[in-house]
Amino acid sequence: MTSPSRRKWLEPHNYLSLRLWEAIGAGLFNLFIFFMLFAYLFPLLYMVATAFMEGPQLGDRNAPAYPSRQVRYEYQGKERLVYNVPMPGGETRQLALVIPKQTSSQFIDPQHPDEGLIQWDGSWRKLKGVYEFHPTLDNFKNLFEALPIPQMVRNTFVMTIISEIGVLLSSIVVAYGFSRFPLPGGNLFFYALIATILIPEKVTLIPTYFFFARVLNWDGSWLPILVPFFFGNAVYIFLLRQNFKSIPKDMDEAAMLDGAGPLRILFQVILPQSWPTVITVSLLHFFYMWNETRQAALYLSVSRDLSPISFGVQSFQSLAPIQNQLQAGALILMIVPVIVLIISQRYFMRDMVVTGMEK
């Protein structure tokens, strides 16, 4: 039997023990979150590892998960593969295969080549190889040869910049109108704004495509993708309006009394206070443009020179349907958005939180 005094550390009212339990709980909690994160991002690890693999490793069942290849040893002018060979004595030696035969093979020990050939009985095909870490850039080399990657990245950047200017200017002005001016019909226009977010894409697709491609003859150019952005985007307008509404009107009125016009109030009073939301919206648009393939598939399949990166890499699937090449393409495609997210996370993550709160 343990005496009550011995179990004192278990009692919840003991200050030290409470802190200890708290620390253990927090530690387990953090460990749990960390393992969840690892599981959540595990496929990304697969993508990165496979992108640096050589082709033969993909089909090799015994190969480890990281980019690697079987250790080679040069013997008598030829490269010999090294295997883990279980010796009759019970130990396992790493030997290079020199003469493979069905039932017994000849090996050489890379550590002691002067020992001469070692006879081993058994099927060498059942032996497991010795692997070394060996990443390769061949997949990326192939990718850059098959696709004009720099040109496609440049296309995406130019498209992003043009549409960013258009969508930000128009959405900011429209959001200002929604947040600060009484509109005829009360909230009618605002309900219409929300409704446009909910309209399924397909119901507008056929006439829009016909109008752009056949009437205006914009097929094979960026115009059908970029022009609609100059008329604002309902989601961005909604997010900006919510933010503008949260800014007190006192400052507007003060500026107005000082003689500032409405546009001047927008650019000199409201925008300086809402730049985190403006940055968030521009980042959302950046990620959207980097992801965009649907419009490109509609309008740009006839002119490959104008293809954005996402659409270009998508077409790579039919060019080289081998896993390590595809993963290299995926890695190239995601690297820019990931870097942008990491750089901007201080603003983006915080403001997305605030924006969501305000629904």
Asked if 52 interacts with another protein (CB under 8 A), we say: no
Interface with another protein (CB under 8 A), residue from 8, 10, 14, 29? 29
Asked if 165 interacts with another protein (CB under 8 A), we say: no
Interface with another protein (CB under 8 A), residue from 206, 215, 272, 318? 206
Footprint on residues 116-145 left by another protein (CB under 8 A): none
Minimum Å distance from CB 138 to another protein? 17
Site string for another protein, 232-251 (x = CB under 8 A): x-xx-x-----------x--
Site size for another protein, by CB under 8 A? 95
Minimum Å distance from CB 195 to another protein? 8
Minimum Å distance from CB 78 to another protein? 29
Closer CB to another protein, 87 or 263, in the complex:
263
Footprint on residues 322-341 left by another protein (CB under 8 A): 323, 326-327, 329-331, 333-334, 337-338, 341
Asked if 24 interacts with another protein (CB under 8 A), we say: no
Interface with another protein (CB under 8 A), residue from 8, 253, 268, 302? 253
Note the helical H segments in 55-148. Answer: 55-59, 138-146
Amino acid found at 267: F
**Backbone angles phi and psi of 342, in degrees to 5:** -65, -40
- Alpha carbons 184 and 339: distance in angstroms, whole number: 45
For helices 149-180 and 234-246, give the axis angle rounded to 10 degrees: 50
Asked if 35 interacts with another protein (CB under 8 A), we say: no
Interface with another protein (CB under 8 A), residue from 207, 217, 268, 302? 207
Asked if 310 interacts with another protein (CB under 8 A), we say: yes
Alpha carbon separation from 285 to 300, 326, 351 (Å, rounded) = 20, 26, 15
Q: Which region among 5-13, 79-87, 105-113, 184-192 touches another protein (by CB under 8 A)? A: 184-192
Q: Are 290 and 156 in contact (CB under 8 A)?
A: yes
Q: Which region among 92-100, 118-126, 147-155, 308-316 touches another protein (by CB under 8 A)? A: 308-316
Q: Are 135 and 48 in contact (CB under 8 A)?
A: no
Minimum Å distance from CB 27 to another protein? 9
Read off the tokens for 70. Answer: 């079987």
Asked if 81 interacts with another protein (CB under 8 A), we say: no
**Backbone angles phi and psi of 90, in degrees to 5:** 105, -25
3-state secondary structure of 78: strand
Amino acid found at 12: P
Minimum Å distance from CB 330 to another protein? 4
Interface with another protein (CB under 8 A), residue from 231, 267, 302, 303? 231
Alpha carbon separation from 104 to 74, 93, 115, 121 (Å, rounded) = 21, 16, 18, 4
Asked if 275 interacts with another protein (CB under 8 A), we say: no
Interface with another protein (CB under 8 A), residue from 173, 223, 271, 319? 173
Q: Which of 108, 101, 54 is nearest to 81 (CA)?
A: 108
Q: Are 58 and 101 in contact (CB under 8 A)?
A: no
Q: What is the Cα 291 distance to its own chain's centre? A: 10
Mention every residue, 6+ apart, whose C-beta is less than 8 A from residue 282: 164, 168
Asked if 25 interacts with another protein (CB under 8 A), we say: yes
